[in-house]
Amino acid sequence: MSRLEIKTPSQAQSVVESLYRTVERRIAASPPGLCPVDMALNFLNLCHAQSCGKCVPCRIGLGQLSSLMEKVLDGTGTMRTLEILEQTAQTIVDSADCVIGTDAANLVLMGLKGFREDYVEHVTHHRCLGNLKNPVPCVALCPAGVDIPGYVALVSHGKYQEAVKLIRRDNPFPIACAYICEHPCEARCRRSMIDDPINIRALKRYAVDHAGVVPNPPCAPATGKKVAIIGGGPGGLSAAYYLALMGHQVTLFEKQKQLGGMLRYGIPSYRFPREKLDEEIASILSVGIEVRTQVDVGVDISFEALKAEYDCLYIAIGAQTDKKTGIPGEDSYGVISAVQMLREIGDNQMPDFSGKNVVVVGGGNVAMDATRSAIRLGAKKVSCVYRRRQADMTALAEEVEGAIAEGAELLTLQAPLRVESDEDGNAVALWTQPQVIGVMDSAGRPRPNNASVEPQRIPADIIIIAIGQGVESHGFEQSGVPVKRGTLVAKTSSQLQNMDGVFAGGDCVTGPATAIRAIAAGKVAAANIDEYLGYHHVIDVDVEIPSPKFDNKPPHGRINTAEREACVRKHDFQCIECGMSDEEADLESSRCLRCDHFGYGNFKGGRVGRW
Amino acid sequence: MVTLTIDNQTVTVAEGTTILEAAKSANITIPSLCYLKDLNEIGACRVCVVEIEGITRLVPACVNVVSEGMVVHTNSARVRSARRTNLRLIMSQHDCRCAVCLRSGNCTLQKLANDLNLFYLPYPTQIPKKRWGYDAPLIRDESKCIKCMRCIQVCDKIQSLNVWDVSGTGSRTTVDVSLNRSILEADCAYCGQCVTHCPTAALSARDDTEKVFDALNDPELVTVIQIAPAVRTAWVESFGLDPETFTVNHLVAALRAMGFDYIFDTNFSADLPIMEEGSEFLERFTHTENYQWPMFTSCCPGWVRFLKSQYPEYTDNLSTAKSPQQMFGAVAKSYFAEKMGIDPHKMRVISVMPCIAKKSECAIDSMKDACGDPDVDIVITTRELVRMMRMEHLDPTVLKPQNFDSPLGSSTGAAVIFGATGGVMDAALRSAYYLVTGKNPDADTFAQVRGMDGWKEAVFQIPGAGDINVAIVSGLGNTRKLMEQLRKGKVSYDFVEVMACPGGCAGGGGQPIHDGQELAEKRGNVLWHLDKASAIRYSHENPDILELYRDYLEKPLGEKSHHLLHTDHHSWTMPLRPER
């Protein structure tokens, strides 16, 4: 018997550890639409198995909660069962000795509040409100509902033109999305159950990079109906594209010099090369869309005049205004907004930051775009000031890592206090109040609080504010378009509640979001405008999806794309990301589990061929 | 073409053929359960799994296609074991008390269990509770449901009504009325196609045989039974006999043996709607400005339910003529009761129908025109009729054929074809032609309306009336297509015949069930043969009909026939199609 022993995990323990990792992945791959009561019950059972068993509320109480929930699910529960469930869970929260018990019971309480109607439906009608509407996780989570298993299979078979055609049926921006989509599709990829999600975006990029010029489908016979679209970003262009295919006469009004919206005036070209953007826009316009740039609706032409002239309007003006921090000294020279800076870059007016200290305020993707652009514009030093921790940044992790690799300094837990300027009014420093991270807010993000230390001075010649964008809603509000908290109000059909024939969608309705959500909104608007105009044009595509192979699919690493070396790429605005090699695309595309065919997919919802 | 090896046989089939169908072409049967060709190829039950060389896991044969050089084993030890285990798993959640099951002896699950020698179950049983009332004529017994999803598919793909859906998720996934409705709240046509495509007894028609026995056993009551045209094509199937040898006259003998007082043919009252509907059509045709156009037949209650729920704005396009079943009831409890001196309140009119929707039709509150009681009291399906015969130990092979009773027992060839798609149109045109021209057309003049196409169109010229554009659809999916085109103005007709079930009543939801077989065409042909062999092939020549008009009704569309033989389709409501 030795006095102390080195801890070594037993074989059983290491197998259990790997099971835990599998369970984590599996939970992450839960498809949307599952019965929440059933999921809560099974979480609860897992939690109960973690109990050490010392204390009554946890050892016995969690088990009784489980039995009560079984009763609810089996249809033998009553409203009284729900009362007992709630009261027991509250007692466990109040009296369990440690979080194993309190947190588990809290999960039950959260569910009783959060999806009470599901509980009640089970009790009163012995059935469930949950339902797997779209069983293919990637398609379900793609805002535009692109047929992802379809195009991944086409890539796997070397049919890149067909892949692009298939994507365009639901999304006229395959190239843009190949480069910059935030790929919500990957979040619940069923492949996560065995290894990692398919690298869907990179496969799309492989398809667009290898497809060459892909012609668009012919337009339907002209209907004689006229539609005006306000805003030439991804949302407006998407609506214009589908409406033109449906045979309507589309005129697109854009305030800026060029089309593309945030794809041009927000996203730097090192993420999405300009020539690719221009190629995509040219393809969209080739279906026959009249474009009028540098026309500011409300200034150059009134909203009412458009309403009178056109059968239908679609407002897709995005979220183009910057938000101010409101700190003293914000009006000093050298303090600029990220929106304004990126807009100038979009029109090829490159500011010169040579030898300057640049401080970027914010932690979102726009802040990273500003940071990395500033580096490329010759800044001596670029620091990114953020109130919370790096982990709390809303920017994609790879954007943050990329910025760091390119030499950006992250100054986290610093809240901007004021801008110090010289006698000429030029900014010379940003003063910040160091923060200490605090309790979680209701959304689960920790709140920063002032730390008991002195403010800090960060020397800065240029201060770039990137703390969010707003919608230029004022003019539309005056014309009677409903506005709430700064964004336009439209129904999920994108139709305005109070104004016949006027539709709105994208960032101007949701607040700043992603390109794919704007594209999806444009697609939705096109469909509903078509119906509104009295038509039912069908958008479909004649592409045969290869039948799945029976390959055995053992766990296999996900293939990530490479990036150009940080020390090289930081000097130019050329694309950072390298595309997949043939070998990589082949391996990655063959990892797809084909949920369109296997599982629920061959029964219902596996393929929506047309809209 | 693709060449592969199945169980050591070389098989060559077209590209895209499933492994299951490829095996079938080589006379190799792969057991299957949820599979229904072209309708339900979803690999849910995993009974049809096979082993493919080079593929680690087993593969369901129903939903995967062959490839060149594939080597398939349909019955290896591993396959057999998986098949039996999966079947046992299914049975662990199925009420296996087969002896007291409607489908005992005609159940795909039972047959597979027998074939695979499953004589014990190692798992604890977890049988869901049946929660379903008896108000609707359609019954779902969850304790029998194996979640094969066929009902969902047939309702979605063939009938386009989407009444069924998957309900719940995970271990509690089941099938239920879609959108969390009850069956009574649903826009279900009660066509019963889900019932005839169910492999077990999870779906059935409400059993009303006890009510019939009660009526037979009550000495106070006079029982009058009518037999629908399509019943005669299918009832003997259940005895394994041929319907052209064992005719409706054997059935009459069986019913007589059961003790029915009067046995009549619904065919008689199929001639009656032809007189009424044909006259109505001519009235509408010559006064189109007064009516919504085109005119629709109204004899199929599934279709009437469909129209009223999906396209209620077209309700006035329906002929106001009642269905043959309801006309029969109204005439039986008035004309016939008077003629025979029977108190109509002591009369029970019972129908044998190939149909489930007829059970709800007879219960419509406004169908009480003869004496204030329901014109038709009880409807049983062909399947219930067979069950009653078996309860009475009646063997068709020893029954001596007998004739229908008089006077509601005579009929024509024009009436018998009501049971097949196109039949109503054919019969109506024969009489319409006569009513306009005073001359009979050749009985096969309108043969274009016959056949199994889901949507048929024809134009006929009737001298003196002009061109008549007709359409005939069967199956509600086809019907929806027609209605949509009609609504958009893409098609226009004068007269449209609709039958809710594919192939018409011969393929009705109340007919005997033969899993995996579609028998509407074969049964329909029996009816067309009967028409050909009939002495009289025109409704307007039925002597009993002529007598009925002469003695009682006076004339088609007259006051009395309006009261007894026509109905107001607005007098009852249907749940509307839900927003989806």
Mean pLDDT, residues A441-464: 94
Q: Would you say B1 and B18 are in contact if contact means Cβ atoms under 8 Å apart?
A: no
pLDDT of residue B286: 86
Alpha carbon separation from A363 to A330, A370, A371, A432, B369 (Å, rounded): 18, 11, 10, 15, 79
Whole-number average pLDDT of chain B: 94
Which chain B residue shows the shortest CA-CA distance from A75?
A: B129
The answer regarding whether domain A34-125 maps to CATH 1.20.1440.230 reads yes
Q: Per-residue b/e over A165-182, b at no fewer than 16 CB within 10 Å?
A: bbbbbbbbbbbbbbbbbb
Structure tokens that stand for A539 in this block = 């958008």
Residues 6+ apart with CB under 8 A from A360: A338, A367, A370, A371, A374, A382, A383, A384, A385, A463, A464, A466
User: Residue B57 and residue A127: Cβ atoms within 8 Å?
Assistant: no
pLDDT of residue A601: 87
User: Residue B57 and residue A38: Cβ atoms within 8 Å?
Assistant: no
Q: Would you say B349 and B171 are in contact if contact means Cβ atoms under 8 Å apart?
A: no
Residue A134, pLDDT > 70, answer: no
Residue B339, pLDDT > 70, answer: yes
Chain A positions touching B167 (Cβ under 8 A) are 127-128, 131
A226-320+471-532: what fold? FAD/NAD(P)-binding domain (3.50.50)
Pick from A510, A523, A575, A563: nearest CA to A277:
A575
Q: Would you say B439 and B294 are in contact if contact means Cβ atoms under 8 Å apart?
A: no
User: Residue B166 and residue A550: Cβ atoms within 8 Å?
Assistant: no
Residues 6+ apart with CB under 8 A from B489: none
In sequence order, what are the beta bridge partners of A540?
A610
Order of strands, sheet of B49-52, starting from the edge strand that comes earlier in the sequence: B9-13, B2-6, B71-73, B49-52, B59-60
Confidence tier at B464 by pLDDT (50, 70, 90): confident
User: Residue A35 and residue B168: Cβ atoms within 8 Å?
Assistant: yes
Q: Measured at the alpha carbon of residue A291, what is the angle toward residues A288 and A294, in degrees to the nearest 5?
A: 170
B180 DSSP assignment: G
pLDDT tens track for A542-589: 999 998 887 768 899 999 999 999 999 999 999 999 999 999 999 999
- Please count the CA atoms within 13 angstroms of the CA of B580 that sit on its side-chain side: 13
Structure tokens that stand for B386 in this block = 């067979």
Q: Compute the nearest-CA separation of A107 from chain B (Å).
A: 20
pTM: 0.90
Mean pLDDT, residues A287-304: 95
Domain ranges of chain A: 34-125, 137-215+541-602, 226-320+471-532, 325-468
pLDDT of residue B45: 95
Report the distance separating Cα B277 and Cα B299, nearest Å. Answer: 10
How many angstroms from the chain centroid is the CA of residue A261?
17
User: CA Rg, chain B, in Å?
Assistant: 25
Q: Between β-strands A446-450 and A427-440, what pairing exists: parallel, antiparallel or unpaired?
A: antiparallel
Q: Which of A121, A131, A194, A538 to mutate to test the interface with B (most CBs of B within 10 A)?
A: A131
Report the distance separating Cα A188 and Cα A142, nearest Å. Answer: 11
Mean pLDDT, residues A78-97: 96
Other C-beta atoms within 10 Å of B50: how many?
28
pLDDT tens track for A352-384: 999 999 999 999 999 999 999 999 999 999 999
Residues 6+ apart with CB under 8 A from B251: B227, B231, B232, B235, B385
A226-320+471-532 has the same fold as A137-215+541-602: no
Where do the domains of chain B lie, and which CATH numbers do they carry?
2-90 (3.10.20.740), 138-205 (3.30.70.20), 209-571 (3.40.950.10)
Residues 6+ apart with CB under 8 A from B125: B92, B93, B96
Whole-number average pLDDT of chain A: 94
Find the CB nearest A602 among B56, B63, B171: B63
With tokens 């209701």, the residue in question is: A442
Chain B positions touching A603 (Cβ under 8 A) are 42, 44, 149
Report the distance separating Cα A44 and Cα A106, nearest Å. Answer: 10
Confidence tier at B260 by pLDDT (50, 70, 90): very high
The answer regarding whether domain A325-468 maps to CATH 3.50.50.60 reads yes
Structure tokens that stand for A299 in this block = 């200034």
Find the CB nearest B168 among A130, A552, A597: A130
Report the distance separating Cα A342 and Cα A351, nearest Å. Answer: 10
- Percent of chain A past pLDDT 90, that is, above it, reads 87
Mean pLDDT, residues B170-192: 94
pLDDT of residue A370: 96
Residue A150, pLDDT > 90, answer: yes
Which chain B residue shows the shortest CA-CA distance from A602?
A: B42
Confidence tier at B222 by pLDDT (50, 70, 90): very high
Chain A positions touching B63 (Cβ under 8 A) are 597, 602
In sequence order, what are the beta bridge partners of A106?
none
- Percent of chain A past pLDDT 70, that is, above it, reads 99
Size of interface A-B (CB pairs under 8 A): 56
Confidence tier at A610 by pLDDT (50, 70, 90): confident
pLDDT of residue A609: 80
How many angstroms from the chain centroid is the CA of residue B125?
34
Mean pLDDT, residues B543-547: 89
With tokens 């379900």, the residue in question is: A140
B405 DSSP assignment: P
Question: How close are the terminal C-alpha atoms of chain A, in Å?
Answer: 74
Find the CB nearest B169 among A126, A130, A604: A130
Report the distance separating Cα B441 and Cα A153, nearest Å. Answer: 60
Position A434, amino acid: P
Mean pLDDT, residues A164-191: 96
pLDDT of residue A132: 66
Alpha carbon separation from A508 to A236, A243, A471, A504 (Å, rounded): 11, 20, 6, 8
Pick from B172, B357, B375: nearest CA to A122:
B172
Pick from A492, A489, A562: nearest CA to A205:
A562
Pick from A316, A306, A228, A311: nearest CA to A505:
A316
User: Residue A73 and residue B172: Cβ atoms within 8 Å?
Assistant: yes
pLDDT tens track for B225-250: 999 999 999 999 999 999 889 999 99
pLDDT of residue B408: 79
Mean pLDDT, residues A443-459: 94
Least confident residue range of A30-34, A192-196, B366-370: A30-34
pLDDT of residue A443: 85
Position B304, amino acid: V
pLDDT of residue A80: 96
Which residues of B lie inside 8 Å of A (Cβ-Cβ)?
Answer: 16, 41-44, 52, 55-57, 59, 63-65, 129, 131, 149, 152, 165-172, 176, 180
Residue A304 dihedral angles phi and psi, to the nearest 5°: -65, -40
Pick from B193, B161, B517: nearest CA to B311:
B161
User: Residue B180 and residue A603: Cβ atoms within 8 Å?
Assistant: no
Tell me which CATH code domain A137-215+541-602 carries: 1.10.1060
Position B2, amino acid: V
pLDDT tens track for B437-460: 999 999 999 999 999 999 999 999
pLDDT tens track for B496-529: 999 999 999 999 999 999 999 999 999 999 999 9
Q: What ipTM was assigned to the predicted interfaces of this complex?
A: 0.83
- Percent of chain B past pLDDT 70, that is, above it, reads 100
